[in-house]
Every structure is written in C-alpha cells, then in structure tokens.
Structure 1
C-alpha cells in the first residue's frame, strides 16, 4: 500500500459532523494517516496532525460554526469535491472518501446534482451504480435518488443489469466468492404475487434476470422484498439488488448504521462515504460516531489493495 497515492478525504459541509469525525479518525488511527489527504478549509486543517496530507480550499480567514451552515462553507465543500475529482484524474489521489454534504446548501452555490454519485459520474465518466457494503450486507440499487412515483417507469433492463453486475463485483472483492449468490428484490409487495399485485416482475424483472443467469449462475428470480435481508442474515445469499432507495436503505440502516459504507460503483475511480448525513443538530458536540467513516476508509484500503 505504500506505493499508492493517498485517499482524498473531502470535508463535506463545514457546519456538519464531517470535521469532527475526520479529526477523531485521524487521532485514533496514526498508522493510517500516511494514506490520507484531507481537503478542506485552513482553520480545520491546522487542527490535524502534521503527518497527514492536507490540501486547502477556501479563504484563509474562513471559520466554520458547527450546526450553522453558510454559503461560504457550501462553496468550500464544492471546491473540495472538485479538487478530489481532479486529483484522481491527475494521479495525485487513488480514491475519494467524501464526508456528508447538505444538498440544499450546495444547490445555492451551483451544485446541480442529486448527490455525490452523480457529481463524480459527471467528472469522471461512467454510468454509476449506488452500492453499499457493510459487515452483513452488500447491496446495489437499480434506482436511487428518484421520487417513488417515478420508480416503476425508471426501472429498465440496463439498470437491473448494472445493479446485478455491481453487487456481484463487490461480493467477489469483499467476500472472495467466485459465483456470488445474488438476491434480487422485486418491486411490488410479495414480488407481485404472480402479477396480482403488479406486473413489473412478470413483464420486466424476471425476463432480464433469466438472461443474466447465463453469466451469474446463482442469480435469484425477483423475490419478496420483505424477506430478502433476513435471508441474507441466514446465509442464503451473498449480496442483494434492490429496486429503489428506501427498499435497501431502511433495513440496511436499521441493522448496519455504523458499519455500512456507500460505494459509487462503475466509475473510473473509487469513491466511498459513510452512510449518514451532515447531522447539523449534533455537530460540534463531540458525540458523532466515526464508525461509518472508519469503515469507509478501511473498505477503500481493501478495494485498492486487491
């Protein structure tokens, strides 16, 4: 690992918990600091140990106020993302670990993306897949930041295929299984119950899965979504494909809130993040856990080493 470029860590919203979880992680993990480069504002970078990489964005005079987001802080968060994306292209960074941003605040400074995933896809190219990896679950989403009313219209063969491929790749990398057992959630309750509760499984999802099974021999048919995560816990499957955001994130966060890591798959460079938001209400109170952040950094190291 000594030969790789450092992992860029972006500050996220300066008023959120990003700064304190980065700081506590750096203090607790001295042996890993040489693999990291934090991109953020000067007043925060000055608090970090000297043996961690640092790249400043924003004015020297800027000071964040925990829990009180401002335009200047959103601009710094945006500039940190731009620096990390450019740095990967230039070979200065091997991957990016993003601390949480406020999409509402970022929109005010011209960040016209639904989230980090879409931003990095625009800068790096590729058709991204939002995936998550924890100690118990690996899951990829066919759709993610979309209104629930639009999901049935958005699901198509390409999205299902990309999600299956992403989950399989993650399971191979992280679990070392050659032919992962992939559980696919149906869209409708009871996976449509043979078309009685919706026909997406019959008309779209299962026909696509039947095609893909030539390449993924342990790929399920569309399964009742309410039992898929429980079946993974019983070791019936290695990874999951979900049709939409909360179908995956509700059970994932209930069971693996501190362990799950967001992984943007199918991009030229690796991007990971903790699976939580800015948490403005607790920012600056020294109560924010760095467990998900730590999991994200460790996962990036594992993926870069393979």
Structure 2
C-alpha cells in the first residue's frame, strides 16, 4: 500500500458554482488525472457526481438536487452550495474522512448574503478546526507569509504588534523548514516606505517591529530586520531569502500575483489540517468562456499533497 493509499483523500470544494472554480477543477483533473486520484469532489450533484463519474473520482453532493447554474451569474443559491461544500470539507477532516482541503474560489460578498460570518475562507477554517491561522503563499519563486491580511489598511499599524509579527515569523520559519531549509532565511518587509527611514517616514519599525525581530534573532539567525518592501521580493527571487514576511495583504499579494498569478498557491498555516487554494478569485467575468487557467489549481493540489505526505 502506498503512502497516499493509506491516507484519507483530499477534499476538493467547488467554490462558487457560477465562477471559474468548477471549470478549472474539471480542466485540471482532465489534464492530470493522477492529481485527482486521491481526491473527493464536493459540490452540487450536477457537477460533482457527473465529473466524478467521468474521471473516476469519488464525490460528495451538497445542496439541493436539480440546481441550475449560469456561468458568470452568481446567486444566493450558488453561495449556499459553496458554503455547504466548505462545511462538509471542514467537518470531514475532523471526522477523519479527508486529510486536507483544496478549496475553490468563493465570492465573499455572496457568502455574506447567506450568513457567512467570516472575512474569508482562512478565518472560516480557523474557527472550524481551532487554532490561529496565518495566510501564506507558495509559488515557484516566492514564498510569502502575511502578518496581517483581511483588515482595512488604516488598521494595519495598530494591528501589527510585536506578538503578531512574531507569530508570522515563526510560521514563515516553519514553512521554510517544510521545504527543506535547515536554517531559514526570512526577510521581513517594513510597514512604511523605506522601512521607515530611521523614523523619518514612520516609527513602527524603530519602536515596535525591529525590536521584536532582534529578540527573535538568537533563535532564528537568518532573520532580517525590517527591509524596504519595494526591493525585498526581488532579493528573494535572487536567492537571499527562503520566505518573506509582508506587513499587510496587498504588500505581499501585489508581488505574488504579478510574478506568479498562474502558479502561486494560498496556504493556510497554523491549523491542524492542510488547506490550500488557487491564488485567484471567482473571475465571474470569464466563467464559462473556457479561458480560465487551471495552473494555480493544479499547483494547489500538488502543494496539498506534498504537505500532507511530507514530500516537500
């Protein structure tokens, strides 16, 4: 029996049925059937059961039968199916039915219309499984961990405490170690332009962030002080850092989505089960046109397999 055969399968959630999630999942598994060989599709019966039968993949149907979706036109009924798929995946991991989750892209707006109380899927899985989640991204060239994410920009300064930064750094070190780094090299983005320029352009680095990093350096000698966010990702591409910690959502995601839009993977760190997702949204505007790229979804499945099998 192989290691994969001895483990429960990965749960693959459909995302919003009107978005590109269902079609990129179908395209990915038609292209690379091996990646779907230890997976379970979770979504509407019309999608999950039919695709599962076509590809020989197990499926779990959620929501009412007879659901009709029109690509590119989201509805509350579709959001209810997306939410039901997430709930089945989360509960199934706790019950031992699945070993991890690869979640399709959802619409936060439409989920909120049907009672979803979380800023995003990261927070949903944190509550469902217990633990303090951290948002990370794995690409071919970049590995990025966010210190803060789904909060307004005006709140970042007060939210970015020494403890918050320390947690992000520790999660970055764990991610680097999972990918083979013996002594993780972690670059940390400053919050302000030029990392504060010694207090001229902001004092957070001088007063809070650098002192926190200095306290951690005896434990993590490859940890930087705060660096200018406009150059640190280029340094990572050149090999200076294994992982970069970004202060806030768009500071990290601007680099990730510019350089690795079709290959980067969202990884939720710090939880008892692995959860990954493609690094793109529902893309309602191109759903059903047959032009959505499945590369990020295939990468999300690959990373989930690696992290749950210890193959990184």
Aligned residues: 305
- Following superposition of structure 1 onto structure 2, how do residues 1-306 of structure 1 map, counting pairs within 5 Å? 1-50=4-53, 51-174=56-179, 176-306=180-310
Query: What is the Cα-based RMSD across aligned positions, in Å?
Result: 0.9
Residue segments in structure 2 that go unaligned for 5+ positions in a row: none
Post-superposition shift, 1:49? 4.0
Alpha-carbon distance between aligned partners in 1 of 2:183 and 2:291, rounded to the nearest angstrom: 41
SS in 2 for 1:226: coil
For normalisation by structure 1, the TM-score amounts to: 0.98
SS in 2 for 1:272: strand
Aligned 8 A contact 2:52 2:58 in 1: no
Aligned 8 A contact 1:26 1:48 in 2: no
Aligned 8 A contact 1:40 1:76 in 2: yes
Q: Once superposed, which parts of structure 1, at least 4 consecutive aligned residues long, lie more than 4 Å away?
A: none
Post-superposition shift, 1:34? 2.4
- What is the CA deviation profile of residues 128-175 of structure 1, one whole-angstrom value per residue up to 9, with x for unaligned ones? 11000101011111100111011001001221111111111111112x
For normalisation by structure 2, the TM-score amounts to: 0.96
Residue segments in structure 1 that go unaligned for 5+ positions in a row: none
SS in 2 for 1:167: helix
SS in 1 for 2:231: helix
Aligned 8 A contact 1:142 1:163 in 2: yes
Alpha-carbon distance between aligned partners in 1 of 2:211 and 2:35, rounded to the nearest angstrom: 46
SS in 2 for 1:84: helix
